[in-house]
Amino acid sequence: MHDIRTIRENPAAFDAALSRRGAEPLSSRLLEMDEARRAAIHAAETAQAEQNRASKEVGAAKGRGDDAEFERLRALVSDKKAEVAAMMARAKDLDEALTALLLEIPNLPLDEVPEGRDEADNVEIRRWGTPASFDFTPKEHYQLEGVTRGMDFETAAKLSGARFVVLSGATARIHRALAQFMLDTHTEENGLTETWTPVLVREEMMLGTGQLPKFGEDSYQTRDGWWLVPTAEVTLTNIVSGLTVDEDSLPRRYVAHTQCFRSEAGSAGRDTAGMLRQHQFEKVEMVSITHPDASRAELDRMTGCAEGILQKLGLPYRTVVLCTGDMGFGARRTHDIEVWLPGQNCYREISSVSLCGAFQARRMNARFKPGAGGKPEYVHSLNGSGLAVGRCLIAVLENGQQADGSVLLPEALSPWLGGKTRLTAEGALI
């Protein structure tokens, strides 16, 4: 969420940053609402002061026996009380309207973010690995002989409908091994704290990280009012909601492996084949809570953590900086990592690492106490996939496929697969 005081100080800069994201200028509307709110508060405070003075004079008039003055002052107190209540109610309504509008406005991009309209304007910053050459036409993951027995979309459709999958046997084990490999790498080598969190959260938690109110249709809500998390970003970031932490406790770096749930409301008809885009999937999510001065460097660090997973698995990828028109709602700068999928003959997103600055912290009221003293300041938050487990499974299967329908698995996974390194065409691990 944005600070109305910052908008007051430089409305032109606020509008210019919004325009880079393709959004309409809003400072005039916001400042008009803010002025009306502040005027209502001032009127209420003035009426309250007049009411207090009249209340003091009521007793004095009664003590003097001045009945006419007593009645006049008593009527004035009553009128002022009603006026105060009306002005406070108006101020509250205006404050809620202003807050509601501020909650709908996306974060402002850093000046360094490339300007553009959509993914065509994203800027590649590096590549790693060389896509393998096949002496046969590579297949997509769900077409591989060794996978078809362990990746059942028909049964999943019977159980839950479209965009679900049932994994079994060796395929399910590889999927599990990937998540364990990611968690162990992030905790043992990258210094993240493994965390286990709920997948059902209160509405204010979704509001704090920006999934609500604007994107409610993209998530699932239960009859009891809980929301199913679209990613562990919601729970991990909200660990510090409402807190004022010590500066020396920063950075806080978390990682969690969770089920994630998305309605995919805005993606009808896209990526319906296979398990690339599902309503229920698993992710290993990274979240960092940092000092404002350290957040930009932390973005690069987190990107490196995610890239390191792909390097260990030997999966070719490219990293791009999202342009202003393609960034997510809460981001100031985002790095997307796209893994090579030979079955599709293209790179596809497998991780998105974003710097949110104080945008989420202001919504959550998450601050730190400076070690040198002074007023508490908002922390900065970052989040990123480390990685999407299902998409990593797809990449491992497609990049390791052989002409006979078997799959060579990355050596890095063998400790989590009991030393096994191949998925046979019959669907067995050897």
Residue 71 designated active-site: no
Catalytic one among 173, 363, 367, 391?
Answer: 391
Which residue reads 């994994």 in tokens?
167
Q: Is 104 annotated as a binding residue?
A: no
Residue whose C-alpha is closest to residue 260's, from 225, 288, 236, 289? 236
Q: Is 307 annotated as a binding residue?
A: no
Residue 296 designated active-site: no
191 Rama sector, left if φ>0, alpha if ψ -120 to 50, beta otherwise: left
Residue 168 designated active-site: no
Residue 64 designated active-site: no
Q: Is 272 annotated as a binding residue?
A: no
Which DSSP symbol is given to 238?
A: G
What distance in Å separates the CA atoms of residue 423 and residue 409, rounded to the nearest whole number?
A: 7
Which DSSP symbol is given to 220?
A: E
How many Cβ atoms sit within 10 Å of the Cβ of residue 136? Answer: 9
- Residue ranges of alpha helices (H) inside 113-250 are 145-148, 153-159, 169-188, 203-209, 233-237
Residue type, 398: E
Q: Is 406 annotated as a binding residue?
A: no
Catalytic one among 38, 252, 277, 296?
Answer: 277
Q: Is 233 annotated as a binding residue?
A: yes
How many Cβ atoms sit within 10 Å of the Cβ of residue 427? Answer: 21
β-partners of residue 338 are 318, 349
Are the beta carbons of 318 and 338 closer than 8 angstroms? yes
What distance in Å separates the CA atoms of residue 121 and residue 124, rounded to the nearest whole number?
A: 10
Q: How far is CA 100 from the centre of its chain?
A: 19
Q: Is 231 annotated as a binding residue?
A: yes
Residue whose C-alpha is closest to residue 275's, from 400, 411, 183, 397? 397
Catalytic one among 262, 301, 332, 367?
Answer: 262
Q: Is 414 annotated as a binding residue?
A: no
The dihedrals phi and psi of 267, each to the nearest 5 degrees, come to: -125, 30
Residue whose C-alpha is closest to residue 169's, from 430, 415, 353, 385? 430
Q: Is 383 annotated as a binding residue?
A: yes
Q: Is 349 annotated as a binding residue?
A: yes
Q: Is 385 annotated as a binding residue?
A: yes
Which DSSP symbol is given to 187?
A: H
Catalytic one among 45, 69, 83, 349?
Answer: 349
Residue 381 designated active-site: no
What distance in Å separates the CA atoms of residue 428 and residue 294, rounded to the nearest whole number?
A: 47
Q: Is 10 annotated as a binding residue?
A: no
Are the beta carbons of 129 and 381 closer than 8 angstroms? no
The dihedrals phi and psi of 350, each to the nearest 5 degrees, come to: -125, -15
Annotated binding site for ATP: 262-264, 349-352
Active site residues per annotation: 262, 277, 349, 352, 391
Annotated binding site for L-serine: 231-233, 262, 285, 383, 385
Annotated binding site: 231-233, 262-264, 285, 349-352, 383, 385
